[in-house]
């Protein structure tokens, strides 16, 4: 998994700061890349719970994994980490009502990924591919919403692949079947506050 796995947990904490304090602070992805191994949504948030998370200004991106600097001043902290029970989409929705949720999904199918033929690349609509199972999760995204369209329930996911992918960088994914493992490895913070 690339260093992009750090984007959803950092975004979840940044979102929590906006929700709790109205503060928009750019937090350090490098801090998690250097200090959390193996890549894990719950592990990253547990790290923030125990040590806080530095700002991008205090712990800038270096372009690769480096040595963990736990002495960097924390800009954000959180009170509690919640890991959604694997496969529990009701619990996932309940978590989303409190804070955006960092999730790992299986993005290995051609119908999902960047770089494949436009005829099979996800560009819009509600993604529903029964071949996309919970096995082989390999990509981190941020769950930001849910809804129903034309009778089909869906999740809204923010992806890190840029605005030319999907629906301006977002994806609607069928809800109710744990599509691509969306509810298998999910975690979110509560009580996010400035450190």
- Average pLDDT on 6-34 reads 96
Sign, CA dihedral 117-120-121-125, equals positive
**Ramachandran bin of 58, using left for φ above 0, alpha for ψ from -120 to 50, beta for the remaining angles:** alpha
Q: In what order do the strands lie in the sheet with 185-190?
A: 80-83, 185-190, 101-105, 139-149, 152-158, 170-174, 126-127
- What top-level class would CATH report for the domain 84-186? alpha beta
Q: What is the pLDDT of residue 50?
A: 97
Has residue 113 got a pLDDT over 70? no
Task: Specify burial of residue 119 (Cβ count, 10 A radius: 0-12, 13-18, 19+).
Answer: exposed
- pTM across the whole model: 0.93
Q: Which residue has the higher pLDDT, 136 or 87?
A: 87
Give tens-digit pLDDT for 165-184: 889 999 999 999 999 999 99
Boundaries of every domain in the chain: 3-82+188-194, 84-186
- Average pLDDT on 81-86 reads 98
User: What is the average pLDDT value for the chain, to the nearest integer?
Assistant: 92
- Average pLDDT on 138-142 reads 94
Has residue 71 got a pLDDT over 70? yes
Q: What is the DSSP string of the chain?
A: --GGGGHHHHHHHHHHHHHHH-----B-HHHHHHH--S--HHHHHHHHHHH-EEBTTTS---SS-----TTSPEEEE-SEEEEPPTT-HHHHHHHHTTS-EEEEE---STTTSTTS-TTTS--SSEE--TT--STT--EEEEEEEEEEETTEEEEEEE-SS-TTSTBTTEEEEETTTTGGGTTTEEEEEES-EE-
Interior CA angle at 15 toward 174 and 18, to 5°? Answer: 140
- What top-level class would CATH report for the domain 3-82+188-194? alpha beta
- Asked if 3-82+188-194 and 84-186 have one fold, the answer is yes
């Amino acid at each position: 998994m690339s260093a992009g796995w750090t984007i959803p947990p950092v975004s979840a904490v940044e979102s929590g700061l906006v929700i709790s304090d109205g503060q928009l602070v750019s937090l350090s992805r490098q801090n998690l890349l250097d200090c959390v191994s193996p890549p894990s949504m719950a592990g990253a948030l547990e790290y923030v719970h125990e040590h806080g998370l530095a700002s991008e200004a205090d712990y800038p991106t270096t372009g690769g994994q480096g040595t963990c600097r736990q002495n960097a001043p924390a800009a954000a902290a959180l009170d509690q980490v919640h890991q959604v029970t694997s496969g529990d989409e009701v619990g996932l929705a309940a978590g989303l009502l409190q804070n955006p949720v960092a999730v790992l999904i299986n993005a290995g199918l051609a119908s999902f990924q960047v770089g494949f033929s436009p005829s099979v690349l996800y560009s819009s609509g509600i993604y529903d591919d029964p071949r996309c199972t919970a096995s082989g999760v390999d990509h981190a995204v941020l769950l930001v919403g849910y809804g129903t369209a034309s009778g089909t329930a869906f999740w809204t996911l923010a992806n890190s692949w840029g605005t030319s992918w999907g629906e301006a960088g977002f994806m609607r994914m069928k809800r109710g079947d744990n599509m691509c493992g969306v509810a298998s490895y999910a975690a979110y913070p509560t009580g996010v506050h400035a450190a």
